[in-house]
Chains A and B, each alone.
Chain A
Amino acid sequence: MKIAIASGKGGTGKTTLSTNLASYLAESHKVVLTDLDVEEPNSGLFLNGELIHREDKYKMIPEWIQDKCTLCGLCQKVCNFHAIIQLGQQIMVFPELCHSCYACSELCPTEALPMIPQKMGELKKFNIGDLDFVESRLDIGQEQAVPLISQTNKFVDDNYSESVIKIFDAPPGTSCPVIEATKNADFVILVTEPTPFGLHDLSLAVETMKELNKRFAVVVNRYGIGNDKVLDYCKDNNIPLIAKIPNSRQIAELYSKGELIYKKVPEVKRQLENIKTYIEELMKGDSV
């Protein structure tokens, strides 16, 4: 079971829910939490584990070999991302724009653009009691999250069996990194806050999940602020609302200290129980 935790709006509680839900589920299931917000991974701030594995991650970038090039210009024609251009007698490659699609390299008639690995970030795996935690982090200056997210997904697929519950802390928004982080999920939890801004971005995230044909549900965080529009929206659109995490100063204080909340706030634990029950039902349904 792969569960992605996403949101439209940033700062609604993806990481809070991811870390608390993963730790809570790990009390009764085999669980791995993966932080796919590779531009600014922060789940690790709440999980103090032992580092058990670390590897560098690379993406493939074409390198121009002047002696072999006939300046035919095909490479710049086939590049959809304008990552390679011809300037007079020169070919220039812009690694930050390159999507590693290999088109220029494969189609070059004189093999003047071999693909060379370039380091883009690192992946780490930790162990925190019964919970495994995987985190990837882009290097400073790297602009593209998608290749690292994709490779991190692959790492989790290769290292954990089908029966493990896999929770993915996704990046915010609705753009490419979010698509990459949610497209393989069996179920997506959209975290929102009950405010007009929260609702606006939730509706964008809902449209995105519909487009991806995803099964999804909503969790309202900081319940008690704002208004009832998010609840009405979920009801009107038949979207399951599976938990409401209350707004409270105690939760904010625990969060600010990097502590897990459900261990100290019984109401949060009850809400996580609701989510757990929902997930277990889904798993039962899927295994039939």
Chain B
Amino acid sequence: MKIAFTTKGTEWDSMMDPRFGRAEYLLIYDEDEDKFTHYDNRAIANEAHGAGPQTAQKLFELAPNVLITGNGPGGNAATVLEKAGMKIFIGAGEMTVQKAYEAYKNKTLNEF
């Protein structure tokens, strides 16, 4: 299972980024291999428009099974993610990645 997080860093104790489109990093945790990979999304800050679909497109390419984020994607991004068939869990915006992962495992996050 590959799980994506919107984050402000690249480690277990990094904070989650509550934003989807303008998230600083997309951190992917591969449960089977117990390994992290990440995509540095900080260049998105320079974009005036369309951050949501652009980040969603990146995530589409990274193809995780699950996305854990904070506020949840906006309409445009949601349309893209829907096509990818990804499960999305929200409400983890103020947690560390570790806590967000545990909350997901304990099924305390809401599905988008």
Residues on A with C-beta less than 8 A from B53 are: 82, 85, 92, 94, 97
Main secondary structure of the interface of B (DSSP, over half): helix
Q: How far is the CA of A85 from the CA of B51 in the complex (A)?
A: 12
Residues on A with C-beta less than 8 A from B51 are: 82
Residues on B with C-beta less than 8 A from A52 are: none
Residues on A with C-beta less than 8 A from B12 are: none
Residues on B with C-beta less than 8 A from A87 are: 57, 60, 80, 83-84
Residues on B with C-beta less than 8 A from A92 are: 53, 79-80, 83
Residue contact B50 to A88, C-beta cutoff 8 Å: no
Residues on A with C-beta less than 8 A from B76 are: 94, 96-97
A81 within 8 A of partner (CB): yes
A159 within 8 A of partner (CB): no
Write the A88-116 contact mask toward B (1 if CB under 8 angstroms, else 0).
Answer: 10101010110000000000000000000
Residues on B with C-beta less than 8 A from A83 are: 49-50
Number of A-B residue pairs having CB atoms within 8 Å of each other in the complex: 34
Residue contact B50 to A97, C-beta cutoff 8 Å: yes
Knowing A85-B57, A87-B60 are in contact, say whether A97-B83 is a contact too (CB < 8 A): no
Partner of A97, one of B49, B60, B80, B84: B49
Residue contact B50 to A81, C-beta cutoff 8 Å: yes
Knowing A87-B60, A94-B53 are in contact, say whether A82-B47 is a contact too (CB < 8 A): yes
Q: How far is the CA of A88 from the CA of B80 in the complex (A)?
A: 11
Residues on B with C-beta less than 8 A from A90 are: 83
- B43-80 interface with A by 8 A CB criterion: 47, 49-51, 53-54, 57, 60, 76, 79-80
If A85-B54, A87-B57 are given as contacts, then 14 extra A-B residue pairs at C-beta distance below 8 Å, sorted by A number, are: A81-B50, A82-B49, A82-B50, A83-B50, A85-B53, A85-B57, A87-B60, A87-B80, A87-B84, A88-B60, A92-B53, A92-B79, A97-B49, A97-B50
25 example contacts (A-B, Cβ-Cβ < 8 A) are as follows: A81-B49, A82-B49, A82-B50, A82-B53, A82-B54, A83-B49, A83-B50, A85-B53, A85-B54, A85-B57, A85-B80, A87-B57, A87-B60, A87-B80, A87-B83, A88-B60, A90-B83, A92-B79, A92-B80, A94-B50, A94-B76, A96-B76, A97-B49, A97-B53, A97-B76
